[in-house]
Amino acid sequence: MLYMAQHKKGDIYIERRQEGDYAVKRKGANRASAVEPTQAKAIAKAQEMFPDVKPNVSRVKYTKKGKPDKWRKK
């Protein structure tokens, strides 16, 4: 599979885009590896593309554990 390049844990990010959908991005990348309509689908896509890596997921709402612009591991 094309996506099977070596990636360290924490090198994959799920970010909300201005368009309202979610991008799967590699650390330092200018372009998304994938774009999905929901955060859950973006997480699933990241896990499919990079099965050995836990993606960093951008928070999109306020919670007891964090707020937007903070990262969580999925």
Spans of all domains in the chain:
1-59
Question: Using a CB cutoff of 8 Å and minimum separation of 24, what contacts does 33-40 make?
Answer: 33/3, 39/14
> pTM score, two decimals?
0.72
Chain position carrying tokens 């590699």: 26
Positive or negative: CA dihedral 9, 73, 35, 40: positive
pLDDT tens digit sequence for 4-26: 455 555 689 999 899 999 999 99
pLDDT tens-place string over residues 14-63:
998 999 999 999 998 999 999 999 999 999 999 999 998 889 888 666 66
In degrees rounded to 5, what are phi and psi of residue 19? -70, -10
